[in-house]
Amino acid sequence: MKHSFLIKYAEIALKGKNRHLFEGALVQQIKYAVRSLDGDFEVKRTQGRIYVEGEGDAYEEDVIDALKHVFGIVGICPIERLEDDDFDEICRAAVAHMGANYPDMDGLTFKVEARRARKDYFKDSMEINADVGEAILDAYPWLRVDVHHPDVSLYIEIRESVSIYSKVIPGPGGMPVGTSGKAMLLLSGGIDSPVAGYMIAKRGVKIDAVYFHAPPYTSERAKQKVVDLARIISAYTGPIYLHVINFTDIQLYIHEKCPHEELTIIMRRYMMRIAERLARQNNALALVTGESIGQVASQTIQSLLSTNEVCTLPVFRPLIAFDKQEIINLAQKIGTFETSILPFEDCCTIFAPKNPKTMPHLDECLKIEASYDFESLLEEALNNIEVKFINKNSDVDDLL
């Protein structure tokens, strides 16, 4: 099966040098998206247009689905592409396109919308519209022209090649990953953090991830769940370096030394500290979490104030004002929900106190932390990181 698509992207961000960066990143992400499909695909960029062409066993739906995962795409148009701009050929292809896509649809209305990027073409847009329209009506007299509210708009673009299409399938929008720097996502096995990573990647930010693992209190299966979540979102974000931090010693130390009402918040502060150091080591410019105001005791504004205080990098919390149901809806849309609700233990819940403070005082945290020495434990955790390279195109995580 042959595939040809014209990719539409929002041109709003495309001034001067940005355009080159934006298009280059978009081409990269499209190549990544189609790599796992059955067939040979080529992504071409010419004169402000991106085309995806391929041949192989992949179904058109599968190609479209892959492209729907690429941020920056606003429209996916399956096209008939002609190398030759011979006008009779254009008419034949336009007639064939209407016949193949809208067979026997009595009374269907259409209009032809031609665009000439080459002004030297021997007919202008109006003439092309009229003549191609006439050819279509000759072939299918049961169709009607309606230039104001047509059922079908048939687009004809004459550039160095000719594209004919009538369907614009919506893409996800946003910006291509790789155009807005990199951030470190704190990825747990829960519902929220994968969604948070997806949302930040949608703004063009490349995502690295960190997971705090507490063996033997958290199992290999809990870790595998995080790997699986990272793989699901990597279909949108591109490949992810997942840093697995062994958090057991730090958690045991906190559990032993700290008053239990403050335990969660102090643990969260250590997660943020480690994530920030890891971010700096990996040239990430921000942290990302799945926090939402008031969702749990550690996410009241007072708690957020205390967790935030240990970071100097910006912390992005894209879900901050979302209700749980809104987050669940997004998790279902992006395909992480079913994995997120698998019942494996999380390091936060295992060490969770019965009555966590909902209004922890920052002074209190500072006092507690000042009386113990966490530094060597932090360094040890940062020196023993397991890094996995996670990629939607592979079931094997390349261990680095």
> Smallest gap, in angstroms, from Cβ of residue 393 to ligand ATP?
24
Instruction: Looking at residues 128 to 167 of the shown chain, list those that interact with ligand ATP (rule: CB under 6 A).
Output: none
Distance, CA of 76 to CA of 78 (rounded, Å): 7
Distance, CA of 193 to CA of 211 (rounded, Å): 11
> Smallest gap, in angstroms, from Cβ of residue 348 to Mg ion?
6
| Residue 188 sits in the site that holds ligand ATP (CB under 6 A) | yes
Which two structure tokens, joined as six digits, stand for 102? 């809208």
Which two structure tokens, joined as six digits, stand for 147? 């230039």
CB 129 within 8 A of CB 113: yes
Contacting range for ligand ATP; rule: CB under 6 A; set: 42-50, 113-121, 234-242, 288-296: 288-296
Name which of 248 and 299 has its Cβ closer to ligand ATP. Answer: 299
What is the gyration radius of the CA atoms in the chain, in angstroms? Answer: 27
Out of 315, 348, 365, 390, the only residue in the binding site for ligand ATP (CB under 6 A) is 348
Out of 94, 132, 187, 304, the only residue in the binding site for ligand ATP (CB under 6 A) is 187
Instruction: Looking at residues 264 to 283 of the shown chain, list those that interact with ligand ATP (rule: CB under 6 A).
Output: 271
| Residue 244 sits in the site that holds ligand ATP (CB under 6 A) | no
Out of 54, 190, 204, 239, the only residue in the binding site for ligand ATP (CB under 6 A) is 190
| Residue 32 sits in the site that holds ligand ATP (CB under 6 A) | no
Residue 155 binding: pick among Mg ion, ligand ATP, none (C-beta 5-8 Å cut-off by kind): none
> Smallest gap, in angstroms, from Cβ of residue 236 to ligand ATP?
17
Residue 163 binding: pick among ligand ATP, Mg ion, none (C-beta 5-8 Å cut-off by kind): none
Distance, CA of 50 to CA of 5 (rounded, Å): 8
Name which of 179 and 303 has its Cβ closer to Mg ion. Answer: 303
Distance, CA of 319 to CA of 90 (rounded, Å): 49
DSSP notation for 77-146: EE-EEES---HHHHHHHHHHHHHHHSTT-TT-EEEEEEEES-TTSSS-HHHHHHHHHHHHHHH-TT-EE-
177 phi/psi in degrees, rounded to 5: -60, 135
Distance, CA of 210 to CA of 388 (rounded, Å): 10
Give the 3-state secondary structure of residue 315: strand
| Residue 296 sits in the site that holds ligand ATP (CB under 6 A) | yes
Report which residue's Cβ sits closest to ligand ATP. Answer: 190
**Any residues with CB less than 8 A from the CB of 371 and at least 6 apart, and which?**
none
Amino acid at 203: R
Name which of 179 and 193 has its Cβ closer to ligand ATP. Answer: 193
CB 194 within 8 A of CB 95: no
Contacting range for ligand ATP; rule: CB under 6 A; set: 78-86, 134-142, 152-160, 291-299: 291-299
Contacting range for ligand ATP; rule: CB under 6 A; set: 115-123, 165-173, 180-188, 364-372: 180-188
Residue 296 binding: pick among Mg ion, ligand ATP, none (C-beta 5-8 Å cut-off by kind): ligand ATP
Out of 289, 308, 336, 391, the only residue in the binding site for ligand ATP (CB under 6 A) is 289
Which two structure tokens, joined as six digits, stand for 64? 């479209």
Contacting range for ligand ATP; rule: CB under 6 A; set: 102-110, 138-146, 236-244, 346-354: 346-354
Number of residues that bind ligand ATP (CB under 6 A): 21
> Smallest gap, in angstroms, from Cβ of residue 392 to Mg ion?
23
Distance, CA of 247 to CA of 214 (rounded, Å): 5
Distance, CA of 136 to CA of 143 (rounded, Å): 8
Query: Residue 160, Cα to own-chain centre: how many angstroms?
Result: 32
Chain contacts with ligand ATP (rule: CB under 6 A)? 186-188, 190-193, 210-212, 271, 289-291, 295-296, 298-299, 346-348
